[in-house]
Amino acid sequence: MTAYDAVPELSLAAFTEGDAAARAGFQEALYEGLAYFGFVILKDHPVSKELLARAYAASAAFFALGEEDKLAHMVGADGQRGYTPFGREHAKDASAPDLKEFWHVGREFPPDDKLADVYPPNVWPDRPGDFRQTFLELYAALEGAGLLMLDALAPSLGLGPEYFRDMAGEGNSILRLLHYPPVPEVADPASVRAAAHEDINLITILVAANGAGLQLLDRNGEWLPVETDPDNLIVDAGDMLARITNGRIPATTHRVVNPEGPTEIVNVSRYSMPFFMHPRPDAVLSCIESCRDPEIEGRARYPDITAMDFLRERLAEIGLGG
């Protein structure tokens, strides 16, 4: 396995537009980066700079609204759609809440679609006026990039090109709009913007945030900053991908630390927009044949479970259980 001292940056255009050698090189580097770090950085992707700028502006405008306006869009106890207020979510086994608020956008269907009763409906604020259109566009763009990456990953796991599209096509994916406000002086000393955790889903595609703070825990037990151009995408593997690859691809622990330095310069709002790519609720998370280990009893570390049952377990662990 290739050893890295920084998260590798890969050009998605090498896979989508390159010749056979370029495509093969991208596929190999994608697998090696995920297997080593659980993270890669993606450049030359199809998500436009104009759309990203519009999305950041719309997110900031919404979170600048008064608390009453935001709480009017809080839907349900599990946080799957709409607004979740500051201090509600915590990392698994953490004693203190994270210092963040967020909004969830899910897949949108016509009322007569077969999946309209499976996924909860989105809710939309009246302000800002372009909120709905902007984030439906971003949802579609990030999902497209994610499916391309899963297409590229499949051969390294001995899978056909249809495997991940069958699993994640029309999946229960979530676009999260995150706002980390300036850290208040009265905050619990144990609270950080996002405590150390692993993601639940297959892969997360994170629009590089407009502020520093993201760190991953590397193989030496050291916290490594993850920084890149603001137009690039940061991709990490989640628990579901780790589960079906029998741990061959790890769900790497990561966190967002509180700012350090002059308060008026660094203790400011931070915004990010992760896209959590999930399978369909009825998809079975089962160990991929090429990843089965003859030295493990049953050759798989984890029993089969549906994506929905696994999601419910994990949501309960982070304070978003229904």
In sign, the C-alpha dihedral spanning 302, 308, 313, 314 is positive
**What is the tens place of the pLDDT at every residue in 257-284?**
766 655 554 567 888 899 999 999 999 9
Per CATH, which fold does 45-317 belong to? Jelly Rolls (2.60.120)
pLDDT at 180 over 60: yes
What DSSP state is assigned to residue 3? -
What's residue 258's pLDDT? 65
β-pair type (39-43, 9-11): parallel
Q: How confident is the model at residue 205 (pLDDT cuts 50, 70, 90)?
A: very high
CB 238 within 8 A of CB 252: no
User: For all residues of the chain together, what is the average pLDDT?
Assistant: 87
| Token code pair at residue 148 | 């391309």
**DSSP of 214-265, one letter per residue?**
EEEE-TTS-EEE----TTSEEEEE-HHHHHHTTTSS----EEEPPP-S-HHH
How far apart CA 182 and CA 101 sit, in angstroms, is 12
**What is the tens place of the pLDDT at every residue in 106-165?**
998 877 777 777 788 899 999 999 999 999 999 999 999 999 999 999 999 999 988 999
CB-based contacts of 291-296 (< 8 A; 24+ apart in sequence): 291/157, 291/244, 291/245, 291/246, 291/248, 292/246, 293/246, 296/246
**What is the tens place of the pLDDT at every residue in 216-238?**
998 889 999 888 888 899 999 99
Among 92, 21, 26, residue whose Cα is nearest residue 320: 92
How far apart CA 267 and CA 269 sit, in angstroms, is 7
Q: Where are the domains of the chain?
A: 45-317
